[in-house]
Amino acid sequence: MSGGFQASGGWMEVIAGSMFSGKTEELLRRVRRATIARKRVQVFKSHLDDRYAGLWAVSSHDRRTFEATPVDSSSQILLRLDPMAQVIAVDEVQFLDVGIVNVVASLADRGRRVIMAGIDTDFRGEPFGPMPQLMAMAEVVDKLHAICVLCGSPASRTQRLIEGKPAPYESPTIMVGAADSYEARCRACHQVPRRDEAQQSLL
């Protein structure tokens, strides 16, 4: 993935997909290969993600890790940027504000390779935060799939479960979690209450 892409200046890469689809593994693979190529690499992550290895590391569901700087906003990336970094990676990019679009575009314009990983859709199956803009503006987009835990098909969606039941439509968009509250599912197996059902229940 992204193996064939060559550019003389900077560029943007997005690794998108459902939870458990291997986004963080793929981000870490690219980061490790960049370090083997003796590039100076800096990894950022959303401060909201403190699963597995804590706040100062990116960690995949199978516990592969790499040190990372947590940020609570897109502007913090510029404040904490290593000016010598040639490759900049951002995990859990869906949690960042929409200002991330201009931040990463300006880094790419200034010759940096920017690698981002994020879930493209929330538990409702709707676009998540800045992901649509980032995917539209990136030179390279890879959409990964997990395995649907119900039928074994490729999973493009993420089911949020609260006490074993599908979360209602009005459940907050952001809720950090892992296998305790989320499952990878295909379109056919993904159950989401519709917005109109949520409104009906208020009547």
Ligand X SMILES: Nc1ncnc2c1ncn2[C@@H]1O[C@H](COP(=O)(O)OP(=O)(O)O)[C@@H](O)[C@H]1O
Span near ligand LXEULUCI by CB under 6 A; candidates 36-44, 76-84, 147-155, 168-176: 168-176
- Does 150 participate in binding Zn ion (rule CB under 5 A)? yes
- In sign, the C-alpha dihedral spanning 148, 165, 58, 48 is positive
- Does 151 participate in binding Zn ion (rule CB under 5 A)? yes
**Residue 197, token pair as written in the block:** 């059902």
Return the half-sphere exposure (C-beta side, CA atoms, 13 A cut-off) of residue 163: 1
The residue from 13, 26, 92, 183 that is catalytic is 92
Residue 169 marked ligand-binding: no
148 vs 168, 173, 194, CA distance in Å? 20, 21, 21
Residue 186 marked ligand-binding: yes
Query: Minimum CB separation from ligand LXEULUCI for residue 12, in Å?
Result: 19
**Phi and psi of 172, rounded to 5°?**
-60, 145
Residue 20 marked ligand-binding: yes
Alpha-carbon span 177 to 41, nearest angstrom: 27
**Residue 117, token pair as written in the block:** 């990983």
The residue from 10, 12, 24, 42 that contacts ligand LXEULUCI (CB under 6 A) is: 24
- Does 140 participate in binding ligand X (rule CB under 6 A)? no
- Does 174 participate in binding ligand LXEULUCI (rule CB under 6 A)? yes
Size (the chain), residues: 203
Binding partner at 123 among ligand X, Zn ion, ligand LXEULUCI, none, C-beta below 5 to 8 Å by kind: ligand LXEULUCI
Displacement of CA 83 from its chain's centroid (Å): 24
- Identify the burial level of 49 via C-beta atoms within 10 angstroms of its C-beta, where 0-12 means exposed, 13-18 middle and 19 or more buried: buried
Catalytic residues: 92
Residues near ligand LXEULUCI (CB under 6 A) are: 19, 23-24, 49, 92, 119, 122-123, 158, 160, 173-177, 182
In the annotated binding site for Zn(2+), the residues are 148, 151, 186, 189
Residues near Zn ion (CB under 5 A) are: 148, 150-151, 153, 186, 189
